Amino acid sequence: MHILQENPAYVYKLNPDLAKIDWDHIISLFYKIEWKHRKAHEIEAAFKLSTTTIFIYKEGQVIAFGRVVGDGRYYAMLADIVVDPDYQGQGLGKYVVTALNNQLIDYHFVNLSAAPGADPFYKSMGWKKQTTAFIWPQGPKQLRQHCEVEE
Ligand SMILES: CC(C)(COP(=O)(O)OP(=O)(O)OC[C@H]1O[C@@H](n2cnc3c(N)ncnc32)[C@H](O)[C@@H]1OP(=O)(O)O)[C@@H](O)C(=O)NCCC(=O)NCCS
């Protein structure tokens, strides 16, 4: 279990009432980081099926979030780790990942698919590259961004 430092200017909520989240605002944050293929009603449904969610607020507005998709005991995957670009570089991403990971003690496998360029972010927290992971690419972009080049 890692100790977490909170900034008193922000409000941190683990597993908040998802009915109270402004999903259009969440979609606007996805747009801000150039992840443009999610839709408000679909991301709301996906968060509701997640095992753990976390949101960080400034003055009532979400500025960072993340979630775990898991089976409650053995397998878990972190997903949608996002910090509003206006608030990046303050440790919020690290907080989101660590707070989610703290919920996964004694799990068999805890993993995630990093966005291109995010390797140093995860490595800075002690995450390791998984040599045995496989992906079923959902199109040429994923094949390009997430897969080894085969000879
Ligand atoms: C990746 C992301 C979540 C990081 O959030 P953040 O709040 O800026 O990160 P933090 O301030 O907590 O940084 C934690 C550490 O990672 C490092 N780091 C953060 N982003 C980095 C990057 N893109 N490249 C290299 N290092 C990075 C920081 O320097 C810091 O290191 P330190 O603890 O040694 O000082 C944020 O940039 C983001 O939302 N990006 C767009 C979406 C994304 O790529 N999500 C993650 C992939 S699934």
Question: Is 67 a pocket residue for ligand 1 (Cβ < 6 Å)?
Answer: no
Q: Using a pLDDT cut of 70, give the percent of the chain over it.
A: 100
pTM of full prediction above 0.75:
yes
In a domain, 2, yes or no: no
Please tell me the predicted confidence (pLDDT) of residue 3: 81
Q: Which spans in 76-139 are helix H? A: 92-102, 119-123
Q: Which domain does 52 fall in, by range?
A: 11-112
Place 2 in a pLDDT band, splitting at 50, 70 and 90: confident
Question: Is 93 a pocket residue for ligand 1 (Cβ < 6 Å)?
Answer: yes
Which phi and psi angles does 19 have, rounded to 5°? -70, -20
Considering only CA atoms, which residue is closest to atom 20 of ligand 1? 121
Instruction: For residue range 49-103, list pLDDT tens digits in order.
Output: 999 999 999 999 999 999 999 999 999 999 999 999 999 999 999 999 999 999 9
In a domain, 98, yes or no: yes
Residues 114 and 130 sit within 8 Å (Cβ to Cβ): no
Instruction: For residue range 39-56, list pLDDT tens digits in order.
Output: 999 999 999 999 999 999
Q: Are residues 91 and 128 in the same domain?
A: no
Q: Which of 101, 119, 121, 123, when mutated, tests ligand 1's pocket best, judged by the most ligand atoms within 8 Å of its CB?
A: 121
Question: Is 92 a pocket residue for ligand 1 (Cβ < 6 Å)?
Answer: yes
Confidence check: pLDDT of 1 > 80: no
In a domain, 108, yes or no: yes
Q: Are residues 125 and 108 in the same domain?
A: no
Residue 8, Cβ density class (10 Å: 0-12 exposed, 13-18 middle, ≥19 buried): exposed
Residues 68 and 76 sit within 8 Å (Cβ to Cβ): yes
